[in-house]
């Protein structure tokens, strides 16, 4: 990646949350440690009122840090507005057309696609605001080589912004070097031995490394 290339930013993906109070300090620490563009808040199943109430303090923290708060989970479409979220994050191309018609342009509609290139192209053609490669609905990361292959294929061809999910901090540099506009991180941040702030700082260093021209 050349020195004048656009800066790659971070997206954070939370664990599936059923209780959010205990998670808030970790989220705030991560947000304060680097250039976080967005946070995907994965919400455990519950009634709409409960999930909206759980999401609100997290959304407030994300937005206070200047990032976009996106909600993910089954049936979250009905709580996006009630919670004050900036948009929603879907898994797979199913439901993308309806979400785009319902929420754009006021809200962000992002999509994590399965490995199928056809699904990614379908979501992009429908008008998704970004396509994320490398994250399964369970929150598990794909194999790093497959994620990197999809990012390297997408970036030169399509205008829709690309997010590459890194299963570890060590994967961040390669995804950034491949030209992804965003690198997403999940458990690599939340389960880091030295804490989420240090993990985010390390990821930022890896992005800087990817932008450093070879001697």
Residue 1 lies in a domain: no
pLDDT band at 215 (very low <50, low <70, confident <90, very high): low
Task: Give residue 120's pLDDT.
Answer: 95
pLDDT exceeds cutoff 80 at 212: no
What span, in angstroms and rounded, lies between the C-alpha atoms of 77 and 89? Answer: 9
Residue 31 lies in a domain: yes
pLDDT tens for residues 40-69?
999 999 999 999 999 999 999 999 999 999
pLDDT tens for residues 146-192?
999 999 999 999 999 999 999 999 999 999 999 999 999 999 999 99
Residue 3 lies in a domain: no
pTM for the full predicted model: 0.94
Query: Cis omega (within 30 of 0) on the bond before 177?
Result: no
Residue 195 φ then ψ, to 5°: 95, 160
User: Domain of 172: which CATH number?
Assistant: 3.20.20.70
What span, in angstroms and rounded, lies between the C-alpha atoms of 207 and 97? Answer: 33
Residue 4 lies in a domain: no
Task: Give residue 8's pLDDT.
Answer: 94
The DSSP call for residue 43 is B
Q: Which domain holds residue 121?
A: 9-211
Residue 2 lies in a domain: no
Provide the terminal-to-terminal Cα distance of the chain, rounded to the nearest Å.
13
Residue 56 lies in a domain: yes
What span, in angstroms and rounded, lies between the C-alpha atoms of 80 and 203? Answer: 29
What span, in angstroms and rounded, lies between the C-alpha atoms of 111 and 126? Answer: 11
pLDDT band at 2 (very low <50, low <70, confident <90, very high): very low
Residue 53 lies in a domain: yes
Residue 64 φ then ψ, to 5°: -65, -25
Residue 189 lies in a domain: yes
Task: Give residue 181's pLDDT.
Answer: 96
Query: What domain count does the chain have?
Result: 1
Average pLDDT, the chain: 93
pLDDT tens for residues 95-130?
999 999 999 999 999 999 988 899 999 999 999 999
Q: Which has the closest alpha carbon to 150: 137, 161, 164, 140?
A: 164
Task: Give residue 94's pLDDT.
Answer: 83
Task: Name the percent of the chain lying above pLDDT 70.
Answer: 95
Cβ(68)–Cβ(87) below 8 Å: yes
């Amino acid at each position: 990646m050349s020195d004048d290339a656009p800066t790659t930013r971070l997206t954070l993906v939370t664990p599936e949350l059923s209780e959010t109070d205990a998670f808030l300090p970790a989220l705030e620490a991560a947000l304060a440690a680097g250039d976080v563009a967005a946070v995907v808040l994965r919400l455990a199943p519950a009634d709409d009122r409960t999930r909206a109430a759980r999401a609100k303090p997290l959304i407030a923290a994300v937005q206070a840090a200047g990032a976009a708060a996106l909600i993910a989970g089954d049936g979250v479409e009905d709580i996006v507005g009630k919670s004050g979220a900036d948009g929603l994050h879907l898994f797979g191309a199913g439901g993308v057309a309806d979400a785009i018609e319902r929420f754009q342009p006021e809200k962000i509609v992002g999509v994590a696609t399965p490995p199928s290139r056809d699904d990614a192209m379908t979501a992009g053609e429908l008008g998704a605001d970004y396509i994320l490669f490398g994250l399964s609905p369970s929150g598990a990361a794909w194999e790093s080589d497959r994620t990197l292959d999809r990012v390297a294929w997408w970036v030169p061809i399509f205008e829709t912004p690309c997010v590459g999910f890194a299963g570890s901090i060590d994967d961040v540099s390669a995804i950034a070097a491949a030209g992804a506009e965003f690198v997403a991180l999940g458990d690599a941040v939340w389960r880091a031995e030295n804490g989420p702030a240090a993990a985010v700082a390390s990821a930022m260093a890896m992005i800087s490394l990817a932008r450093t021209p070879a001697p």
